[in-house]
Amino acid sequence: MNNPVVSIIIACYNEESLLKQSVAEIVATMDASAYTYEFIFIDDASQDRTPELIREICNGQDNFRYLCHAENVGRGGTVTEGLRLARGKIAGFLDIDLEVHPRYIPQLVSSIESGTYEVGTISRVYDLSWRPLSLLRTVLSLGYRRIVNSTLGLPLTDTETGYKFFSRRRIMPILDECQNRGWFWDTEVMALSHQAGLRILEIPGPFVRRHDKKSSVRLFRDTLTYAKELAQFRGRMGAPSHVGAHNPQTRTEPDFAGRISGLAGKVTGITDRVREFSFVNKSEGLAGASTSFLTPRLSLSLWFSGLPTWFQSQKNDIYQQLVSLVTNLFARFERYVLMLATLSILFVVTFLSYHALIISYPNYEPIEKVMALGLLVCEIFFAVNGIGYIFWITRSKKYKSFNDQYLTKQSSSSVACLLPVCDEPIQTISETVASVSAMRYENKQVYI
């Protein structure tokens, strides 16, 4: 294919487990659009079968090309190389794990092709995971956004997303100025694009973290590296102008359809959370969290029983006395520990949701603000349900036995039993909102 409209760069590193499925999903999205396209696969010295799979995928495909590195050069270097190889007048990339769905590609391409924007990107809308590491990564990511915005004065909500498309003619001079070849490249290219006056479109898109894939991001080491590189880049850029950074009228805003899609994604995320923390199969719930996670299984006595086998075999008097002491102390103060933990979760969820849905996009239409407020009320309700359940169950004398069967059996008496009652209608409503929003979004028509 000589002159495709869109060039899609796929940077790969140890992606054998999901490469074929993800490529098929992107191809289906592009085939359903009106755009001609090409794929450029660049393997960054993977240590698994990724290069072999890339060759299989590209075999016999005229619009598929690939390049394999002998040594790892980093995210920024890999994507930059792909952009230089691109033949399309619009070129971009997205992370192959598809934690943000490829359905947004046609809208980003359309906005650039029309000349309205030169850069199109996704602003990730997080569904807070209750897994500690995932929650930590989410909080660090959102914190990094705030630091970048205040340090560089950018009117953007998410510079780090691995989902960006560019007018190739306009982005090539910017690439010559980019110095970083690692993960910080994303922030650098967006900051330089803004500084050069390129018009940037941000569309909020639900971010669904994949727990079946090992991330190539090294959490703490890369966080420190980001901080160092941000300080160095800030020195190169000079003092931030803060143009549009705190003025709602000059912020880069997604269109109404994109914002509705983002809210629909948030509703779906809340529904997933309800399902996770409802009494399903007699073992789950925030009610939920108390039975299977926060209460007896958070007991330090069980934590001790999970220590390495060599230590368990030492079941001497000191070990037994220590377990007994810790268990008794925890049983005495457990209610307050659990309520404090639940209140902390409530605070984090509410603050991040409020920031993402209201502060980040202050120009929401009234109907959108009402929807955002409704979502916050739902999240507060679920957290309060959990607190009520913890308070109720820890007042029970039988609770002292840490009997899971008893906790589940008696759960119907708790205020938390309202959760499964709410689950089905909320699921139906959220699926309807998401599907209707997607149809209107594809037709580029939005009406309430």
Q: Is 311 exposed, middle or buried (0-12, 13-18, 19+ CB in 10 A)?
A: exposed
Residue 141: CB atoms within 10 Å = 17
Q: Return the minimum-mean-pLDDT range out of 111-120, 147-156, 260-269.
A: 260-269
Amino acid at the residue 401: S
6-254 is classed CATH 3.30.2290.10: no
pLDDT at 111 over 70: yes
Which has more confidence, 219 or 93?
93
Sorting pLDDT into bands at 50, 70 and 90, what band is 114? very high
pLDDT at 125 over 90: no
Sorting pLDDT into bands at 50, 70 and 90, what band is 416? very low
Q: What is the DSSP letter of 121?
A: E
Q: Average of pLDDT values for 414-442?
A: 41
Structure token pair of residue 351: 């603050």
Going from the C-alpha of 149 to that of each of 154, 184, 351, 359, 362, the distances in angstroms are 5, 14, 18, 13, 16
Q: Average of pLDDT values for 255-260?
A: 51
Q: Average of pLDDT values for 152-162?
A: 86
Break the chain down into helix, strand, coil percent, rounded to 5. 60, 10, 30
pLDDT at 142 over 90: no
First-residue to last-residue Cα distance in the chain: 41
The domain spans of the chain are 6-254, 268-443
Give percent of the chain above pLDDT 70.
45
DSSP E strand stretches across 330-437: none
Judge whether 95 and 163 are in contact, CB under 8 Å: yes
pLDDT of residue 71: 93
Structure token pair of residue 336: 């307050």
pLDDT of residue 7: 98
pLDDT at 328 over 90: no
Which has more confidence, 249 or 171?
171
Burial 316-344 (b: 16+ CB within 10 A, else e): eeeeeeebeeebeeebeebbeebbebbee
444: left (phi over 0), alpha (psi -120 to 50) or beta: left
Residues 53-76 have pLDDT tens digits of 999 999 999 999 999 999 999 999
Tell me the whole-structure pTM to 2 decimals: 0.55
Which has more confidence, 142 or 119?
119
Residue 53: CB atoms within 10 Å = 20
Residues 346-399 have pLDDT tens digits of 666 666 555 555 544 445 556 656 666 666 666 666 666 656 655 555 555 444
Going from the C-alpha of 302 to that of each of 72, 285, 298, 381, 403, the distances in angstroms are 43, 20, 7, 30, 13
pLDDT of residue 209: 72
Q: What is the DSSP letter of 301?
A: H
197: left (phi over 0), alpha (psi -120 to 50) or beta: left
CA dihedral 90, 96, 102, 106 (to 10 degrees): 10
